[in-house]
Amino acid sequence: MKFNIIMPTYNDSDSIEETIKSLISQNYKNWRLLISDDGSTDNTKEIIEKYLKNSDEYDYSKKFSRESQIEYYYQENQDQLNAIKNVSHLIDKNSLVLILHSDDILDNENVLQNINDYFEQNNVDAIIADLPTMNENSISLGIQKTKEYKRRKYIPVLQLLWLGRNLYADTFVAKEKVFKTQIINNYINWNTPFWLNYENKIEMLNVKKVDFFIIRYRVFEGNYINNEIGKLNVINGELRTAINLMKHYNILLYKAQYLLFRLLNKFKLNYIPIYQKKETKDKAKIIRFIINKRFPEINNRFLKSLLSFYEKNNTREIVIDKINPKDFIYYGKDMRKFNNDLLNNKLSNIYDKILDEMEKGFNKIIVSDEEAKEKMIIITKFLCIEPFVTIELA
């Protein structure tokens, strides 16, 4: 099978060459690399161009051609999920899709061969694996274990119990059809776990954990989650995941079960939660608990408005007469732009209005036309209130 490998990059000139070398050294040669440069300001482009033009530095089989297998695309800085999304339409049909970040590497020269063999022999949507880790100098740090994937009815409940944080690894290889029809929407557009669908009903992809390594993950102080904006970006997806699951499940004694699950998880023991298949009762308490795990002090306007919305729980309707066509509509992949706009008081009027109304609480929005309704669905989904808001035409 052919591999389509998407490599988002931003100012990774110190590591991207090692990443590319880990790919071109693969014994399995049927691959295509789509490099999506998210507005790098260092010499990333110059390093990549060497691999596009210079064909004498390495010894390749006659079937290998850099110019046909490595493609470079540049965009103004929009964050990594947009960098992935903006080249996704180039993916070949019936291929296998792997996202390889430009500070990580393929674990060994047989990775692609091992993946290909597994998909040839097993009918699965995607695979995940344990993650060997390394530091900034590519020195091994150990192995980050990934939970064994189980396709059970209680797993989405555990996802809610785990504060909306991904139970499994974000590193995966998926079939092209699954990637385009489901993963782009879940993982990229809305920054939620790739393996879980909750739009109409709760569904899990057919995923298997393999017994070989795929990616060697680089850990350093500059990692995305180790700064304030990174945490704000991440918690939006976590809250969206948890709140959507609250529409379907009520976990009894949430905090106590969370602590028990966390304890058993450390000892790699299975835990089946006690829950009811109905809407969560104490949404506000659980949302505050989730937020406080990342932000002990809630000072962010979005987080404060969100918490107030669920605490007030008002049966009130608001009217939105018009949405300015020039207003930027945020998806989960745009969380960094949203946070920057919020911190710099650059949000458009519609988001200012909805955040203000969330402080008071409501459960219905009246809009003027179908276009406004479609936009309002996206707005409320981004702001993590859509499952509990009715949107109607005037």
pLDDT in tens, 44-62: 999 998 888 544 443 333 3
Q: Which of 199, 222, 245 is the last residue of a domain?
A: 222
DSSP state of 186: I
What is the per-residue pLDDT across 85-97, written as a single tens digit (0 to 9) for each?
999 999 999 999 9
Residue 330: Cβ-neighbour burial (10 angstroms; 0-12, 13-18, 19+)? buried
Q: Same domain for 214 and 340?
A: no
Q: Same domain for 45 and 140?
A: yes
- Structural domains of the chain, count: 2
284 in any annotated domain: no
Q: How far, in Å, CA of 127 to CA of 343, rounded?
A: 38
Beta pairing partners, 209? 128
Q: What is the pLDDT of residue 329?
A: 97
Q: How far, in Å, CA of 260 to CA of 271, rounded?
A: 8
Do 4 and 96 meet the contact criterion of CB atoms below 8 Å apart?
A: yes
Parallel/antiparallel/unpaired status of strands 250-251 and 275-276: antiparallel
Beta pairing partners, 98? 5, 173
Q: What's the one-letter identity of residue 160?
A: L
Q: Same domain for 77 and 172?
A: yes
Q: 3-class DSSP state for residue 99?
A: strand
Q: Same domain for 312 and 209?
A: no
Q: What is the pLDDT of residue 228?
A: 77
Q: Same domain for 191 and 328?
A: no
Q: Same domain for 38 and 174?
A: yes
Please give the torsion angle defined by the CA atoms of residues 289, 291, 294 and 296, in that order, rounded to the nearest 10 degrees.
-70
100: domain CATH number? 3.90.550.10
191 in any annotated domain: yes
Beta carbons within 10 angstroms of residue 22's beta carbon: 19
266 in any annotated domain: no
Among candidates 320, 285, 309, which has minimal Cα distance to 363? 309
Among candidates 81, 86, 109, 84, which has minimal Cα distance to 97? 84
- Intervals of the chain under pLDDT 70: 53-67, 221-226
Rg (CA), the chain: 22
Q: Same domain for 64 and 182?
A: yes
What is the pTM for the complete model shown? 0.93
Range list of β-strands (E), the chain: 3-9, 31-37, 70-74, 96-99, 105-106, 126-128, 131-134, 140-144, 173-175, 196-197, 203-204, 207-209, 215-218, 250-251, 275-276, 317-320, 364-367, 390-393
Q: What is the pLDDT of residue 289?
A: 98
Residue 343, domain extent: 301-394
Q: Same domain for 11 and 108?
A: yes
Q: How far, in Å, CA of 358 to CA of 370, rounded?
A: 22
* Distances, alpha carbon 131 to alpha carbons 34, 114, 142, 171, 210, in Å: 23, 16, 9, 8, 11
Q: How many residues does the chain have?
A: 394
18 in any annotated domain: yes
Q: Which of 187, 222, 257 is the last residue of a domain?
A: 222
Place of tokens 């959507």: 244
* Distances, alpha carbon 49 to alpha carbons 44, 59, 83, 106, 329, in Å: 9, 18, 19, 21, 35
Q: What is the pLDDT of residue 225?
A: 58
Q: Same domain for 29 and 119?
A: yes
Q: Same domain for 78 and 209?
A: yes
Q: What is the pLDDT of residue 73?
A: 94
236 in any annotated domain: no
181 in any annotated domain: yes
